[in-house]
Amino acid sequence: MDIKIDNLIEELTLDEKIKLCSGASMWTTEEISRLGIPAIIMTDGPHGLRYVVEENEFGATSNKRTTCFPTSSALASSWNKDLLYLVGKTLAEEAKSLGVNILLGPGINIKRSPLGGRNFEYFSEDPILTADMASEFIKGIQDQGVGTSLKHYVCNNQEYKRFSINVKVAERALREIYLHAFERVVKEVKPWTIMAAYNRVNGIPATQNNYLLKQILREEWGYEGLIISDWGAVHDRIKALKSGLDLEMPGPARVNSEKIKQAIEKKDLEEKILDNSLKRILKTVFKAKKNKIIVDYEEHDKIAQKAAEESIVLMKNENNLLPIDFAKLNSITVIGEMAVNPRYQGSGSSKVTPYNLSDGFTVIKNSIPKSTEFNYSSGYKTDEKLEIQLKDAVNKAAKSDYVIVFAGIPEEYESEGFDRKNIDLPEIQNKLINEVAKVNENIIVVLNNGSAVNMSSWINEVPAILEAWLPGQAGAKAIVNVISGKVNPSGKLSETFPVALEHNPSHLNFPGFNEEVNYAEGIYIGYRYFEKKNITTQFTFGHGLSYTEFEYKNLNVKNEVEARNKIKVSLKIKNIGNRAGKEVVQLYISQKNPYYDRPVKELKKFKKVVLNIGESKEIEFTLSYRDFAYYNPEIGDWIVENDIYEIILASSSKDIRLKKQIRVNSKDTAHNLDVNDPVIDWLNDQIGKKALMEALNDNQIDYLEDKENIYVTERPLYRLDFLSENMITEKEINKIILNYRIFRGDCYFN
Ligand code: BGC
């Protein structure tokens, strides 16, 4: 393959080479038929294929009908890796059937604020959950010979000024939070392409950011795939090429093509750089399979339904109000415009035209016995008089055994292109829920939204709440199956629901101003922040109820382990309720005495387990070095401190079931000592102590070790000559520093 590509490159004219480095149209690459180089087709596709048939300057006006799956915030709440693989595989089949070669997704940006307009399209506030979900999704697609585009690299966490905003982010937060999932996915599943974002990162546009594209992505992580620009994201085409951005999309990019030509002619750009990009472009083009298949959209609808069923989170279920036995139901009232016109997907470039669409009104009506009295009231339909609708809803609710209110965030509130203004439901919906709750205590609220909402005005009045997210075309069928108990809910929240927007860690710095947003909260995103500050949440990360119960026992892990070895953790989990169900076992790690500040605990592994009534299963996790590590900006690397760590097994980030402290032996240094560090730190550090011992005599060491003498031990090393009245000289201090560097292997002397 490489030889063929090299030959092809030799045969291409400079104009042809330049042409190939940008798209031929909105969704295709260039074709050079004289050399048998075909075009490839890309479409948006995180939760369904958006195959555009017609478009104008404002966007798509007509798409092919394809399966609309739940959006990523929902899929992540399934915590089910096999499901993500299946959804990916199914999407790839549809791609193949339409001749699409690359799906422009998934988006794996971290949900820094619940206000992010595109949060529905992203997986989680947590990089580990994001990485695991995205990896399986990509595997599912790429195993079928269809490519993906991991997007948006990186720090594209808001819509406000998304084309230009400068993200100011510290190295540790960048590595641990924003790059982490990209790193894992790149290393583990090698996405065919990566899409560089519109925004700037620490002053430099992501599409020409040498540090991010070349140093980290290519050199550190060894990424060999294709880097493409987000649509229209190239600022300086020459700098972009030099940083390794291969393909500019969309095309044709006539102005930039001219610039490339001039730069090569003026020798500002080496042709070799263009050739390297071409190699990656051609490799991708020839990897794309052309065999069309036929798909069964009705079968895919079932997969979309299963995906929604796994993703729904039962947030609250007082006195086991749910499930409702439909066979014994006398009367039910369904309230809410969203029961008829469901909110099932987000808006913007990911919006697909669904193949089918189920709605709560019809599905409930068809699922209950003929004899059951069924009422509907729109409640908050906006084009009629609200007070009349409200009264009608309350009157009907008062007469029914059960009331199901479909509430949520309207499309105009969250979309690609703008951020949310707040996390509240429309006021009329809050009022409606409160009024209905006053007349009927069997009220169930079903929520459709892409990211966290505030329920404080009615949360205590409502016994049962289902977070159904934006559940895709079959969402209503899934919701009704959960309500009726045909499906035992098993979703867990992929993001924290705060009591108030103001509690969110990014609140003072979202969305920024003067073209800049400062990620001042550092690594403290989502539950990492709420736990550290001990702030009560409405619903915690990882929370989700089931109709059955699970018992955790027999946690088994060695008491002492080596950081560089693989570490096995096992436990037993049993279904002790009276229904089959699924539990998401979450493994968190907490470091007990960190030198560098760390979150209270962090998610590292999870597993979704299926258990019949009474059944138990043994679960095993394997932990490795990186699970204990943090990014140490001073050292410029990941390190594990020699310390005690707690292994925590939990049903949510708050619901801890088993834990055990273990010692992790590590030789990593958390901090390089220097003259400014106090004597006590030198004495406590293994290498530091050795450096002291080599440089000083016994009397001098005794003087330093005199713990009574805080005056000395708490002072920096550089003050020692003065403090000791030259008993320890400046020369000896320099010797200590030199010894330390030699013992660390930082420098060598004969
Ligand atoms: C979005 C991308 C999308 C592209 C093509 C951009 O505006 O940010 O996510 O893939 O358009 O539609």
150-188 pLDDT, tens digit each: 999 999 999 999 999 999 999 999 999 999 999 999 999
Best residue among 58, 104, 152 to mutate for probing ligand 1's pocket (most ligand atoms within 8 Å of CB) is: 104
Q: Which residues contact 639 (CB under 8 A, 6 or more apart)?
A: 629, 630, 632, 666, 668, 669, 670
What's residue 670's pLDDT? 85
151 lines ligand 1 (CB under 6 A): yes
CATH number at 159 reads 3.20.20.300
What is the CA(249)–ligand 1 centre distance, in A?
A: 10
Q: Mean pLDDT check: name the lowest of 126-140, 684-698, 700-714.
A: 700-714
What is the CA(340)–ligand 1 centre distance, in A?
A: 30
| Same domain, residue pair 576 and 491 | no
| Same domain, residue pair 427 and 368 | yes
| Beta partners for residue 713, in sequence order | none
Of 246, 262, 278, which residue sits at a domain end?
Answer: 246
| Same domain, residue pair 164 and 109 | yes
> Rounded CA gap, 475 and 342, in Å?
9
| Same domain, residue pair 349 and 372 | yes
What's residue 68's pLDDT? 98
Beginning with the edge strand found earlier in the chain, give each strand of the sheet holding 602-611 in spatial order: 560-562, 656-665, 643-650, 581-591, 602-611
Give me the domain span that covers residue 56: 40-246
| Same domain, residue pair 499 and 596 | no
Ligand 1 atom, smallest distance to 105 CA: 10
| Same domain, residue pair 494 and 570 | no
> Rounded CA gap, 462 and 433, in Å?
8
* Residue 185 burial (C-beta neighbours within 10 Å; 0-12, 13-18, 19+): buried
> Whose C-alpha lies nearest to ligand 1, atom 9?
349
The letter for the amino acid at 465 is I
Ligand 1 atom, smallest distance to 349 CA: 12
Residue with token string 């919906």: 429
**Best CA proximity match to 27, nearest among 8, 40, 13:** 40
What average pLDDT does this structure show over 531-558?
Answer: 98
Which pair of structure tokens corresponds to residue 104?
């422009």
> Whose C-alpha lies nearest to ligand 1, atom 3?
349
What is the CA(189)–ligand 1 centre distance, in A?
A: 22
**Best CA proximity match to 640, nearest among 648, 627, 628, 631:** 628
Contact at 8 Å (CB) between 52 and 27?
yes
pLDDT of residue 60 exceeding 80, the answer is no
CATH number at 602 reads 2.60.40.10
159 lines ligand 1 (CB under 6 A): no
| Same domain, residue pair 86 and 212 | yes
* Domain assignment of residue 131, yes or no: yes
Contact at 8 Å (CB) between 94 and 300?
yes
104 lines ligand 1 (CB under 6 A): yes
What average pLDDT does this structure show over 80-108?
Answer: 97
* Domain assignment of residue 433, yes or no: yes
> Rounded CA gap, 247 and 26, in Å?
13
CATH number at 353 reads 3.40.50.1700
| Same domain, residue pair 443 and 498 | yes
Mean pLDDT of the chain: 95
Q: Which residues of 92-118 are buried (b: 16+ CB within 10 A; e: fewer)?
A: bbbbbbbebbbbbbbbbbbbbbbbbbb
What is the CA(73)–ligand 1 centre distance, in A?
A: 18
User: Is residue 401 classed as helix, strand or coil in its secondary structure?
Assistant: coil
* Domain assignment of residue 516, yes or no: no
What average pLDDT does this structure show over 10-25?
Answer: 97
Q: What is the pLDDT of residues 418-462, one digit of tens each?
A: 999 999 999 999 999 999 999 999 999 999 999 999 999 999 999
* Domain assignment of residue 48, yes or no: yes
Of 605, 638, 665, which residue sits at a domain end?
Answer: 665
Higher pLDDT, 388 or 707: 388
548 lines ligand 1 (CB under 6 A): no
Q: Domains in the chain: how many in total?
A: 4
Best residue among 25, 26, 28, 44 to mutate for probing ligand 1's pocket (most ligand atoms within 8 Å of CB) is: 44
pLDDT of residue 708 exceeding 80, the answer is no
What's residue 750's pLDDT? 38
Q: What share of the chain is helix, strand, coil (3-state, %, to 5)?
A: 35, 25, 40
| Same domain, residue pair 174 and 322 | no
What is the CA(348)–ligand 1 centre distance, in A?
A: 8
Q: Choosing from 44, 126, 132, 230, which is the catalytic residue? A: 230
230 lines ligand 1 (CB under 6 A): yes
What's residue 2's pLDDT? 60
| Same domain, residue pair 569 and 495 | no
Residue with token string 């702030």: 535
> Whose C-alpha lies nearest to ligand 1, atom 12?
349
* Domain assignment of residue 536, yes or no: no
What's residue 161's pLDDT? 96
* Domain assignment of residue 350, yes or no: yes
User: Is residue 601 classed as helix, strand or coil in its secondary structure?
Assistant: coil
For residue 334, what is the enclosing H or E element?
Answer: strand 331-335
| Same domain, residue pair 362 and 490 | yes
44 lines ligand 1 (CB under 6 A): yes
* Domain assignment of residue 120, yes or no: yes
Known active-site residue 230: yes
Q: What is the pLDDT of residues 598-633, one digit of tens each?
A: 999 999 999 999 999 999 999 999 999 999 999 999
> Whose C-alpha lies nearest to ligand 1, atom 2?
230
For residue 652, what is the enclosing H or E element?
Answer: none
> Rounded CA gap, 621 and 570, in Å?
6
What's residue 289's pLDDT? 78
What is the CA(463)–ligand 1 centre distance, in A?
A: 40
pLDDT of residue 272 exceeding 50, the answer is yes
> Rounded CA gap, 527 and 413, in Å?
24
* Domain assignment of residue 112, yes or no: yes
Band (pLDDT 50/70/90 cuts) for residue 748 is: low
Residue with token string 């796994």: 310
